[in-house]
Structure 1
């Protein structure tokens, strides 16, 4: 951090669209409104990319096999994803963000961090800005968004999930440590099911339990994650909102509610990940030399397979071909697959492009004290 920085004085909003893909489909097709809907997959095969809130009431969620989703909700409707439409709506969304700040860090098509410390729009408070953004989204895009408002990125992101859908949650300076103490350990970044099980065995169930441990204890049991857990459990996160940070790779992965073992199910799951990752590649106007496939099996064994090419991957067709070839070389699988992921690395910007790093960690920048929460 720079000496004149004051992370606790930042005003950060995390905006997260509500069931984005499904909500866009329901907006554009009135016959789908108020009905349980799954984007992607099908009743016979494939994987759910997104689920409407009506479907979530039945336990349908993203990354779930279509067969399981239909079993949980027999009346579930399936529609194919339209990523060109989602990208177009995302562009409109970011135009709304830009009315209130230049410091926008996109995480995906439907969520972003905004640093509104400077209050360039003269709204008066971070909470009022969050409400203004949500109002613009509702009135102009006919969609809803939830927002978390706080003094750092970690708490803002967690807070945006507190009053979903269509809500705001504010955590002010001085409230962060108490708020984090009540969180289940599973809500901390990087704490997946396996890590949560290890924590539970150690008697760690909440943020307060993490905070009660020494840094040495956390390092012994959680290695590289120890520093993060130690700070986050105290409501600390020094990352600044960085719109334009160079990154080394772009990727995406999905963990599945049920292990995949049928070849066609794996192929369909891969197509979904190709859609997700290419969307991010296209959004960043970049190209790369290496495609890597990540596979985690039911027994948690993890492998990666990679292909490097020259010239770099420049088209979706090239990315699809390399990704499929990497998967086909592993088929058939003899044990279930619980996670698939793809990464494009060795990045370089396309002409006129700019590579973003939505998860970049950087030094703090000077902030102003004028804006209230």
Structure 2
């Protein structure tokens, strides 16, 4: 049986690189992609712009101060999606095991493809050459026996990098890497590790599993394994599920209630659940529907279309509360209450609009972080304070 070979392919400075590819006048110049409003953030910065200290998610006003001569362009979602589909088609020419992580990166399992395409390094070079010649952009590819190593390797020599972390190099090849390079290590965890005298992966590996679990709980087992280059090697088959028309959730109350505070809490819980489902499916919703059923089984529904499509609980919840308040219960009790989100679209289609606003971007990052905690530790590990009343 062939040894497992996982690739992580990440297009370099995707949005900015696409703009440079289709507009020769922008090549070799600093390019910033993002909105122009006061709260806009940088969605992508070319490597020419990064030399001036600019990076993604930085306030656009700060980026313009650091690099005032940069070409500033609005996002072109249709163009980026077209390029993304082309990139994924190239990947699929070499393996059906392609798992997109975002619009510009994916994991590939190329185990056992040697008879068709040659050694794994040759496959990686063919992919890089095709994307460069067909699209005029570059992709960095990392390789290893699992997803962790592949991800670390793809970040090693950016841009246009190619690195394979082989088994015989482990674990010492990771020794000098900063611990923050390990996926899932944020500022808080890195700060706690510094307090333990740990700044590199090699230093992390010197700590016992019992100490790490004592300090970091269940995450300690991940830190212990990651410092040794151990991780998940699974890659899913590529799929494009059909777009759903809506997501919805409703609940029948244990007892009929006219308590607005209690109804608001139920709406909050449902909005959170629906938002999580939307993110899991890679969808955004623009229209929020409220459903109310009274004790006499009379049912009414109301809907409102939001200014921006959303996959976070805040706009869904506030829209539902607005609809409930406008409905005006007038003291009437409620038997059933529900929320639906419709007018759905592909997340990659609209995330370009959403990340033009810093506040929306921050809310999205927070909800994504909560998703990861729930996935790791289960439902109930984190919730809104209001739901604890």
Deviation at 1:313, TM superposition (A): 2.9
Matched residue, 2:327: none
Structure 1 length-normalised TM? 0.68
Which gives a bigger RCO, structure 1 or 2 (Cα 8 Å, sep 6+)? 1
Matched residue, 1:341: 364
Deviation at 1:22, TM superposition (A): 0.2
Tell me if 1:73 matches 2:67. yes
Tell me if 1:232 matches 2:255. no
Deviation at 1:246, TM superposition (A): 12
For the 8 Å contact 1:96–1:136, the answer to whether it is kept is yes
Matched residue, 1:311: 340
How many residues in Structure 1 have an aligned counterpart in Structure 2?
287
Tell me if 1:139 matches 2:136. no
Map 1:265-304 onto structure 2 (within 5 A): 281=282, 291-293=311-313
d(CA) in 1 for partners of 2:20 and 2:361? Answer: 30
d(CA) in 2 for partners of 1:163 and 1:312? Answer: 43
d(CA) in 2 for partners of 1:25 and 1:110? Answer: 14
Tell me if 1:36 matches 2:21. no
For the 8 Å contact 2:6–2:233, the answer to whether it is kept is no
Greater radius of gyration (CA): 2
For the 8 Å contact 1:146–1:165, the answer to whether it is kept is yes
Deviation at 1:141, TM superposition (A): 1.1
Deviation at 1:339, TM superposition (A): 3.3
Deviation at 1:77, TM superposition (A): 2.1
Q: Where is the helix percentage greater, Structure 1 or Structure 2?
A: 2
Report Cα offsets for 1:176-212 as digits up to 9, x if no partner.
3112222110011221122211111110111111111
Structure 2 length-normalised TM? 0.65
Report Cα offsets for 1:210-251 as digits up to 9, x if no partner.
11111111112112211111111111113311236999xxxx
d(CA) in 1 for partners of 2:174 and 2:313? Answer: 35
Matched residue, 2:380: none
Deviation at 1:107, TM superposition (A): 0.6
Q: Over aligned residue pairs, what C-alpha RMSD do you find?
A: 3.9
Q: What 5-or-longer segments of structure 1 have no aligned partner?
A: 248-273, 296-303, 325-335, 345-356, 362-373
Which deviates further from its counterpart, 238-247 or 228-237? 238-247
Deviation at 1:338, TM superposition (A): 9.7
Over 3 Å counting, the alpha-carbon distance change for 1:43 and 1:53 in structure 2 is: farther
Match of 2:202 among 208, 212, 231: 208
